[in-house]
Chains A and B, each alone.
Chain A
Amino acid sequence: SAVISQKPSRDICQRGTSLTIQCQVDSQVTMMFWYRQQPGQSLTLIATANQGSEATYESGFVIDKFPISRPNLTFSTLTVSNMSPEDSSIYLCSVRGTSRQETQYFGPGTRLLVL
């Protein structure tokens, strides 16, 4: 499976500010995804990061709040904009290969606390 790293691993931010989270994979992957896991909750898919084009967002998530970049097949960023305490969560990057039945693997996550 691919080795996935995320930066930062954790951060404490003030409301109204923005934070950019980086996801780096050690091999080229077709699909990259961003998930959110709020305290005590399961994973919710935010968007699919598309290489060379705009991300595909799930219902309830918008580009202005969660802009995503994916400049190549090994790297993506997620920005959490104009943060509020409700954005306190773990943000996880995941990757999937080229096969239909190939599974997703998750990065270590970024723990975000908004004060």
Chain B
Amino acid sequence: QKEVEQNSGPLSVPEGAIASLNCTYSDRVSQSFFWYRQYSGKSPELIMSIYSNGDKEDGRFTAQLNKASQYVSLLIRDSQPSDSATYLCAVTPRSDRGSTLGRLYFGRGTQLTVWP
């Protein structure tokens, strides 16, 4: 399941800055991409999903997808201390393309700390 790579960090940014999280994947035909946030001791919660090349914005979060480069990123604008968590990138594997299986393979996660 080692198809998704993330810089494990830790990434540390000051409050109000932009945090940039990156993820690369090996399966060229992956179709669906997700960013989850996981607070310590909690289960992952979905932040963003993206399926097409380009940018997708939701509040302070922007997901960027470049399928040619097999690269997906998450930008967090105006970072807050409450954003401090581990961010997990997940992709749907090749074998599930065109099916309803919808399995997800996760990267190791990037630990983000936003300091006041």
- Residues of A whose CB lies within 8 Å of any CB of B are 30-31, 33, 41-45, 48, 58-59, 92, 94, 96, 98, 100-109
Contact = CB atoms under 8 A, between A and B. Distances in A.
A42 B49 CA distance: 18
A59 B105 CA distance: 12
Contact of A31 (B51, B101, B109): B101
B102 interface: yes
Contacts of A101: 32, 49, 51
A103 B46 contact: yes
Contact of B1 (A45, A104, A107): A45
Interface centre among A45, A48, A104, A109, by most B CB within 10 Å? A104
- The prevalent SS among residues of B at the interface is loop
Interface centre among B32, B102, B103, B107, by most A CB within 10 Å? B102
A45 B105 contact: yes
A8 to B, nearest CB: 15
A43 B103 CA distance: 12
B106 interface: yes
Contacts of B32: 101
B44 A106 contact: yes
A100 B102 contact: yes
A41 B2 CA distance: 12
Given A41-B108, A43-B106, A58-B1, A100 B100 contact: yes
